[in-house]
């Protein structure tokens, strides 16, 4: 496993990329309204990243992905491709943004509710959000990756939801996806031990029904096999000397 330790200078560049990523999510929220297409959301984000931030949308042409953001609606677990379908009142959409600035990546996603959320959709989103933060709070030097996965899995399953196992968090820096893989399930006291300077994402995908998923013929879109709702949140995390720093906090939550 080739886990990169970021230098202080590289950490500063990652802070910038993370802040820009969060700024895109802050910006797009007001546009998530009934009647908008996910293609329109993609165009707005693309123009903002390229024209306003003078940065690069990492997903565009990444291994052939055709758009600048991922939009995963309702039962889509991850990697949803923006298209011409219009969002409707009650839909739930995860918008996943990755920005490259000065050679470094920031990666974050949020759930947005279109109009009035369903009771089940709101509860699922809340549980996924808290599961992510429970995992983040484990991050400090000496913690093992299994400790993070365990607290996430335990919380989700106690709330009668399930954790997707086929997709996970990942190291990040100069590359979009680096070592290590950060599973959202596992046993405490197992896995890679964290060190200061490591950076990775925590991004649990939580299903309202069973954990099983399937990949659509487009080669990207992942959906729940039982067509149940799925929710996901994501942050980029830096391991510090005495704990962690969340690099992709929105403007309202920054220190």
Q: Are strands 162-163 and 205-207 parallel, antiparallel or unpaired?
A: antiparallel
pLDDT of residue 228: 98
pLDDT of residue 255: 82
Q: Rounded to whole angstroms, what are the CA distances from 189 to 77, 145, 166? A: 28, 8, 21
Quick check: 121 and 113 in contact, CB under 8 A? Answer: yes
**pLDDT, tens digit only, all 255 positions of the chain:** 799 999 999 999 999 999 999 999 999 999 999 999 999 999 999 999 999 999 999 999 999 999 999 999 999 999 999 999 999 999 999 999 999 999 999 999 999 999 999 999 999 999 999 999 999 999 999 999 999 999 999 999 999 999 999 999 999 999 999 999 999 999 999 999 999 999 999 999 999 999 999 999 999 999 999 999 999 999 999 999 999 999 999 999 988
Burial label for 150, CB within 10 Å (0-12, 13-18, 19+), is: buried
Residue 173's closest CA among 88, 106, 240, 96? 106
All domains in the chain, ordered by first residue = 8-249 (3.90.230.10)
């Amino acid at each position: 496993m080739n886990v990169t330790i970021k230098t202080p200078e590289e950490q500063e560049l990652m802070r910038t990329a993370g802040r820009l990523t969060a700024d895109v999510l802050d910006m797009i929220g007001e546009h998530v309204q009934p009647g908008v297409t996910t293609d329109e959301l993609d165009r707005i984000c693309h123009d903002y990243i390229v024209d306003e931030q003078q940065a690069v949308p990492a997903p565009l042409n990444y291994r052939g992905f055709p758009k600048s953001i991922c939009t995963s609606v309702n039962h889509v677990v991850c990697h949803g491709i923006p298209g011409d379908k219009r969002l409707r009142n009650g839909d739930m959409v995860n918008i996943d943004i990755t920005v490259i600035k000065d050679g470094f990546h920031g990666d974050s996603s949020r759930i947005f509710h279109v109009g009035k959320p369903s009771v089940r959709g709101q509860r699922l989103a809340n549980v996924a959000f808290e599961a992510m933060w429970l995992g983040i709070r484990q991050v400090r030097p000496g913690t093992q990756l299994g400790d993070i996965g365990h607290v996430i899995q335990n919380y989700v399953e106690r709330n009668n939801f399930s954790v997707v196992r086929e997709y996970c968090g990942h190291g990040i820096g100069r590359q979009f996806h680096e070592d290590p893989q950060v599973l959202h399930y596992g046993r405490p006291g197992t896995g890679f031990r964290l060190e200061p300077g490591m950076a990775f994402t925590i991004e649990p995908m939580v299903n309202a029904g069973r954990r099983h998923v399937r990949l659509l013929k487009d080669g990207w879109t992942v959906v729940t096999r039982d067509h149940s709702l799925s929710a996901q949140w994501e942050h980029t995390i830096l391991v510090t000397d005495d704990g962690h720093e969340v690099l992709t906090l929105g403007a309202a939550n920054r220190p």
